[in-house]
Structure 1
Amino acid sequence: MSRRSSGFVGVWAEVQRQQQRQSEAQARQLRAQERQARAYQRHAIQSHREYRHAEARRQTEELEARVQSLQGLLATGCRAPVFRSTALLRSETVEPFQPGPLAVPVPMPNPNQYQAQGGWTTARRAQAQAEARARFERDWHAAQEAEAQRQQRLATAQREYDRWADVQRTEVRRHNAGVAEVTAGVRRGDAEAVVEYFSAALYASTAWPEGFPRQLSAAYDSAARQLVLDWELPGYDIVPEVKSVRYMPTLDQDKETPRPAGQRRALYRDVLAQCLLLVLRDLFAADEYQALDSVALNGFVDDHDPATGRRAHIFLTTVMARRSMFTDLRLEQVDAASCLVDGLRGQLSSRPDQRAAVRPSRRPQDVGDHVVTHGGEEEPDLYEMDPIAFESLVAELFRAMGMQAVTTQRSNDGGVDVDALDPTPIRGGKIVVQVKRYRNTVPPTAVRDLYGTVQDVGANKGVLVTTSGFGPGSHTFANGKPLELISGAELVDLLRRYGLRGRLGTGDGTAAAPVTPSNTAPRTDSYNVLGMSWSGNVALDVCALVCNGNRVLSDEHFVFFNNPQTPDGSVSALTATPPDKAAIRASFEALPENADRLVLVAAVDPEVNPDADLSGFTDARIRLLDPSMAELGRLEVSDGRPHETALVLGSFRRRANGDWDFVLGGKGYTDGLVQLVQEYGIEVA
């Protein structure tokens, strides 16, 4: 039987054995941690690679889908509904009268609920009964008066609705009478009516993909019963230059495979032929009044002439198609280029990619002086319009929307450019409109001034219309107030929706770059300060991520204590001034074009509070400040929770019109800032 030694050497040996065991345990723990770290790194790398592979596949699928859409343009267009004049007619049915709470009668008091209370003697009972009757009569008279007022307000609302409905029906009847006049003119062969009708047919077509131009010039030869038309074609860049995208893991970058030049050129040539055949199909199919015996159609691109370098209409294809010949074609089954050149005896440029032109046989101006043009650069540039003309255009837009609107006098207008009246019952009323023909973001002070005007004149609503956009300070101030902000992109959309014209610089609804000494550097002179404060003594790091979706643009677009600003300086950390505990400076106009989110996050500082969590992060808010540190508004954010050490406060998100809105966050993380930023695509070593 063995026994443990109790001598000096034995004790020393036991200590050595325990130290050895402890050392081995520590070594095993270290190896386990290293295995976990390697596994995590492999998982992170694998996740990153899987994401990049998936993103490359997505881009390739988008390219293939675009090519398939171009190849099937004519077949898809032939399945689109045929235009008929009845599509131009509007229904006289108007929104029914909705009185809301005014429809509910005021309830009359129930005498059974007014019984005498108390009274042990005859005199006291009589007094109690008299008091009950008095209460009943008082409440009954009050209810009768309230009911009379309700009926009066209901009658007023009904009269306002009837007037509004009459205006709407009158407008609809006027519009429908105009449609009837046009169709009668088409039957008579009136040149102006024919061009207007067939222009409407082309613009009503749902066959054209996004990004295709819709500019035309047309004239009608009544004697020959021929429509002569110039139609704008898409440029060479409509065919993707890239064929596929493949992710290269060893280089951690995407590799683009170019589309063969011959294949790209052939597809573009085919697209041009499909466009002309589709225009002919839409015109002959819409001819329910048999006004067309033939169509002379010329397709052009609006580009720089290789010979002169000046911008011009370069004709790449032309055809004269007779109805008798065209209606026998099976367009779904033809080869577009062969059909156009061989079947219809048209011309198609052999090198449209090099803008090699063809000679049109007949142009609209050859017919006479009655040439009608739609689309293109003849739309007025809102930036260059006379200010009075711009205000008149806005007033005309409000009238087209069913309101009464007039421009104000230039003096003593009280800051109002257009006075409008919405006759819609209940939600309608007086509207004051201010117009700002700006290129840069409208400052929040303009929105504040408009609100003051609304209050001063007792208007129901204020509308600020601009050719530029609004920052988050403006939207924060307008939230919950009777204010509506219409940006330049929204204005262009409304103008087109109601049959009016206007563009922002480039003609495509986007603003041209502001004229500055250098457009290479982003503007950072217009910025906001985001000041953050909270209750509790927990030390926090407040950071910002410039993202596209849920992915940070790059590691350099993560602003924190080791990276105080983005490469372009659009977002940077600031030293906070009381009452704020942290601050971020953000120039929303200068953010990269592919950035659609600015995410604000907070995390416990592990060096100052290694054992703290966010349970002490309460009463948190973000103050939105202008460059002078004047407060524009406050944004409430979620409180922290126990065991969490990092939190997404919220994100500013770019709207489709270029403005920015704030979306509340609230997602928490238990493993601190590292776990949070990894979710946004940042690799942490």
Structure 2
Amino acid sequence: MNRMSRRSNGLIGMWAEAQRQQQRQQEARHRATVQQQREEERQQRAYEREVARQDREQRQAYRQAREAEARRRTEELEAQVAALEGLLAAGCRAPGFTPDMLGRPEQVEPFNPGHLGQPVAMPDPNAYRFGSRAQYEQDQRAAQDAEAVRRQQLAAYQQQYDQWAATTLAEIRRHNAGIGEMTAALREGDPDAVVEYFSAALYASGAWPQDFPHQVSAAYDPGARQLVLDWELPGFGIVPETKSVRYMPTADEEKETARPLTQRRALYRDVLAQCVLLALRELFAADGFGALESVALNGFVDEHDPATGRRTHIVLASVTVSRQSFAQLHLEQVSAVDCLADGLGGQLSARPDQLAAVRPGRAPGEVGRGVVSHGGGDDPDLFEMDPIEFEALVAELFRARGMRAVMTQRSNDGGVDVEALDPDPISGGRIIVQVKRYRKTVPPTAVRDLYGTVQGAGANKGVLVTTSGFGPGSYAFANGKPLTLVSGEELVALLAEHGLRGRLGGGAPQPKAPAPDAAVDGDHNVLGMSWSGGVALDVCALVCTGPQVLSEDHFVFYNNPRTPDGTVRAVAPGGADKAALAVAFEALPSVADRLVLVAAIDPEADPDADLSRFTDARIRLSDASGAELGQLEVSDGRPGETALVLGSFRRRASGDWDFVVGGKGYPGGLEALVQEYGIEVA
């Protein structure tokens, strides 16, 4: 019995030990499981903290950017007001106008043959010591032929330059002779010469801000030696309505603080008085001939008469002042309003913002002689100008910018309207210029043709000048090529900058709101998106004003495939494209100034992916027929990011659209991205 009992106890001990071992293993597995859960929880908390940190940093960066933009706008407003307040003082520091400023130096840029001045290198016989003599002779004949061609081209280029130089020098001499004749007539007191000279002096003066009007009508009374003129003054809108801009982070919008109306009225009245005094200063400073004993000036605005509703000249200031009285003033220290009204006995409207007129003094039409006018509607309409005159105006613009420019022969211009030579040793060279007087958007084919002409002519650069504008296809093709596109608005600004004249009719018509899908069924572009890496993406678009989407309906994505007006919609991709959007740029809402393109990971197709495999991405721009217009490269994706701003098309002041590459990524995906554009995510 005792023996059996001991054996049983041994078995029980072994069983108990096995149970304890199993229990210890279960406890170890449990501890490992708990530890693993705790580690996963720790990693999740760390990830959430990192995402929150990045989100805070992005929000902080966004807020700082919006605050900086608000400060910049406020600083611009303050600078505008400061410039208006110091208009007279700044103008007095500008040099007085003289006839010498009208003259042109009798010299032309020296001949610069560029690459044609370098002889073709002949082959070195020593290099063929162990080779074929026949190869040497063949290479030598080829080099000699190339040298002969170079010499022919150089001779033709020299002949072209000589012709241009002779024509330019003769033109300069004729111009300077005319200035000499006018100066002699001024000294003799010829009324026509006096009116032309002082009108030009006032119209072309550099003392005026660029956005101020320059319309003047004048006549001269030789008996009284008095210049009588009407001079256009700026409107009330010259004084900014907004005083400051502040960013409100809680509402995520900018708040504008209005400038008090009493402050705007006082500043506008002061600006008008400064303009009158500055005009008088410019006239007397330009008189180096003793032609002006006095000046009678009426300052007017070209506005709608409150009494009749018809557009007319409303006189807001008037003064007659002698040279002697004006010479006693220290304009830099005067109060403009007090000086004009009290010091000179002139008239100034008490409420110019309400177009309360004053009685004009002597008018140019009362002098009894011819009246000369500059500015206003007298600027030639570029749309109605003779084509040859328009090309001549463009050539004159290039000459005014310091280049040599000649018009080509009409019969055999080879697609070249103007040929220019930029003398800059680094960025200069031969420039091919084409002129397109269009009213509709210039098609991309014209830009392609220009590029072919530039390559065929061996020129350094091509410039396409038009009275209309360019679409995104044209800018996409010109990107990275030696091409410059000058729209109508830019052309008018350049003409004014260099003292030339031109306007675009009565202003370009505003596009009408399109019917649904009508825009994309006709004149539209297709943006095809392609990339490498095998990652599944959604390509989206936001129609925005600045950094804010117009509305949630203007966010085009998989749940909203088109905007309400149909100007942006998702379409089936073609060819190698993986996604595509149809966009009618010309028909986008007038308040929209950018179209933002976005790529984001498709959470259903590839929920664990990021953008590290998003590479070799590009946007293929096509027209409505499917013809490719150009390709736009965008940045690759980065690890940890699941949404990316590919870039945005920005509307320029001229109405054209440029593409700006993006690159900002978001670890929080599409939701985090669209929140920055004002879309609330539930």
TM-score of the two chains, using structure 1 as the length reference? 0.80
- Structure 1 residue aligned with 2:572, among 572, 575, 583? 575
Q: Could you tell me whether the CA contact under 8 Å between 2:199 and 2:217 is conserved in 1?
A: no
Partner residue, 1:122: none
Whether 1:396 aligns to 2:392 is yes
Structure 2 vs 1, CA of residues 390 and 588 (structure 1 numbering), >3 Å: closer, same or farther?
A: farther
Question: In the alignment, what sits opposite 1:103?
Answer: 117
Sequence identity (%): 60
2:82 maps to amino acid: Q
Displacement after TM superposition at 1:553 (Å): 6.0
Give the deviation of 1:362 after TM superposition. Answer: 0.4
Structure 1 stretch displaced more, 369-378 or 521-530? 521-530
Shift of residue 424, structure 1, vs aligned partner:
5.3
Residue in 2 that maps onto 1:126: none
Please give the secondary structure, in 2, of the residue aligned with 1:403. Answer: strand
**1:366 positional shift:** 0.8
Q: Could you tell me how far apart the structure 2 residues matched to 1:45 and 1:664 are?
A: 22
Q: Does 1:584 align with 2:587?
A: no
SS of match in other structure, 1:277: helix
SS of the residue aligned with 2:350? coil
Amino acid at match of 1:627: A
Determine whether 1:622 maps to 2:643.
no
| d(CA) in 1 for partners of 2:44, 2:639 | 30
Could you tell me which of 100, 124, 147 is aligned with 1:86?
100
Distance 1:67 1:625, change over 3 A: same
For structure 2, list consecutive stretches of 5 or more residues without a partner in the other structure.
Answer: 1-18, 398-404, 423-427
- The Cα of 1:229 is off from its aligned counterpart by 1.1
Q: CA deviation at 1:320?
A: 0.4
- Post-superposition CA distance 1:411-461 (Å, at most 9, x none): xx9xx999746375997699765532x2x434446666x669969x99989
The residue that corresponds to 1:201 in the other structure is: 201
- State the partner residue of 2:363: 363
Query: What is the letter of the counterpart of residue 269 of structure 1?
Result: R
Structure 1 79/570 Cα, relative in aligned 2: closer, same or farther at 3 Å?
farther
| Contact 1:319 1:344 (C-alpha < 8 Å) held by counterparts | yes
Aligned pairs (5 A) from 1:256-267: 256-267=256-267
2:218 and 2:227 mapped to 1: Cα distance?
A: 7
1:59 corresponding residue in structure 2: 73
Q: Which residue of 1 aligns with 2:12?
A: none
Cα distance change of structure 1 residues 635 and 254 upon mapping to structure 2, 3 Å threshold: closer
Deviations 1:305-333 (A, max 9, x none): 11111111000110001110101100011
Cα deviation for residue 483 of structure 1 reads 7.5
The 5 A counterparts of 1:350-429 are: 350-382=350-382, 385=384, 389-398=385-394, 400=396, 402-404=405-407, 420=417, 422=419
Q: Is the 8 A contact 2:94 2:206 kept in 1?
A: yes
Which whole-Å CA distance do the structure 1 matches of 2:673 and 2:462 have between them?
42
* Contact 1:302 1:313 (C-alpha < 8 Å) held by counterparts: yes
Q: Which residue is equivalent to 1:174? A: 174
Provide the residue aligned with 1:313 in structure 2.
Answer: 313
Q: Which stretch of structure 1 is more off in the superposition, 481-490 or 77-86?
A: 481-490
Aligned to 1:277: 277
> Does the aligned pair in 1 maintain the 2:243–2:258 contact within 8 Å?
yes
TM superposition shift of 1:336: 0.6
- Quick one: distance in 1 between partners of 2:293 and 2:379? 32
CA RMSD of aligned residues (A): 4.5
Greater shift in the superposed pair: 210-219 or 18-27 = 18-27
What are the equivalent positions in structure 2 for 1:211-222 lying under 5 Å apart? 211-222=211-222
**Pairing 1:578-617 to 2, within 5 Å after superposition:** 578-593=575-590, 595-614=592-611, 616-617=613-614
Q: Tell me, yes or no, if the aligned pair for 1:620 and 1:639 is still in contact at 8 Å.
A: yes
Structure 2: distance between partners of 1:90 and 1:29: 77
Closer, same or farther: CA 369–266 of 1 in aligned 2, 3 Å = same
Give deviations 1:662-684, integer Å, cap 9, x for gaps. 34555666664456556767676
Aligned CA distance change for structure 1 residues 270 and 463 (closer, same or farther; 3 Å): closer
SS at match of 2:595: strand
Q: Distance in 1 between matches of 2:135 and 2:30?
A: 99
Distance 1:106 1:677 in 2: 60
Shift of 1:222: 1.6
Shift of 1:474: 3.0
The answer to which of 29-38 and 552-561 deviates more is: 29-38
Pairwise CA distance, 1:227: 1.0
Cα distance 1:546–1:179, how it changes in 2: closer, same or farther (>3 A)? Answer: farther
- Residue 186 of structure 1 corresponds to which residue in structure 2? 186
Higher mean C-alpha deviation, range 582-591 or range 462-471: 462-471
Whether the 8 Å CA contact 1:347–1:358 is kept in 2: the answer is yes
The CA deviation at 1:74 is 0.9
**Aligned partner of residue 437 in structure 2, secondary structure:** strand
Aligned residues: 651
Distance 1:252 1:82, change over 3 A: same
SS of the residue corresponding to residue 620 of structure 2 reads strand
Partner of 1:125: none
Cα deviation, 1:510-552, whole Å, max 9, x if unaligned, reads 52435x6999x99765321212233453211112244566666
Deviation at 1:208, TM superposition (A): 2.1
- After superposition, where does 1:9-88 map in structure 2 within 5 Å? 49-88=63-102
Deviation at 1:191, TM superposition (A): 1.9
- TM-score normalised per structure 2: 0.80
**For the residues of structure 2 that align with 1:19 and 1:644, how far apart are their CA atoms?**
31
Letter in 2 for 1:375: G
| Cα pair distance change 1:568/1:240, threshold 3 Å | farther
**1:540 and 2:537 correspond:** yes
Deviation at 1:189, TM superposition (A): 1.4
- Matching of residue 657 in structure 1 with residue 654 in structure 2: yes
- Provide the residue aligned with 2:504 in structure 1: 504
1:64-95 CA distance string (max 9 Å, x none) = 22222211111111112222221222223322
Equivalent position SS for 1:576: coil
d(CA) in 1 for partners of 2:483 and 2:656?
16
User: Match of 1:340, as an amino acid?
Assistant: L
Structure 1 residues 47 and 306 mapped into 2: Cα distance closer, same or farther (>3 Å)? same
Residue 557 of structure 2 corresponds to: 560
Would you say the 8 A contact 1:418–1:434 is kept in 2?
no
Supply the AA of the counterpart residue of 1:403: V
Letter in 2 for 1:88: L
Structure-2 separation of matches of 1:12 and 1:151: 96
Tell me if structure 2 keeps the 8 A contact 1:570–1:591: yes
Select between 284-293 and 234-243 the one with higher mean Cα deviation. Answer: 234-243
Counterpart Cα distance in 1 of 2:109 and 2:242: 50
Question: Residues 583-629 of structure 1, C-alpha deviation per residue, up to 9 Å, x if partnerless?
Answer: 11222223355644433232332321233344554554433222344
Residue identity in the other structure for 1:59: R
Match of 1:333 in 2: 333
| One-letter amino acid of the counterpart of residue 265, structure 2 | R
Which letter maps to 2:658? D
Q: 316-325 vs 668-677, which deviates more?
A: 668-677
Kindly tell me: are residues 681 and 92 of structure 1, through their superposed partners in 2, closer, same or farther at Cα, counting changes over 3 Å?
A: farther
Structure 1 residue 170: Cα displacement: 1.7
Q: Is the 8 A contact 1:407 1:418 kept in 2?
A: no
Task: Give yes or no for contact 1:215–1:231 (8 Å, CA) kept in 2.
Answer: yes
1:115-264 alignment runs, 5 A limit = 147=147, 149-249=149-249, 251-264=251-264
Could you tell me how far apart the structure 2 residues matched to 1:146 and 1:452 are? 24
Q: Is the 8 A contact 1:597 1:654 kept in 2?
A: yes
Tell me if the contact between 1:106 and 1:143 (Cα under 8 Å) persists in the aligned partners.
Answer: yes
* 1:235 counterpart letter in structure 2: G
Distance in 1 (CA, whole Å) between partners of 2:578 and 2:127 is 60
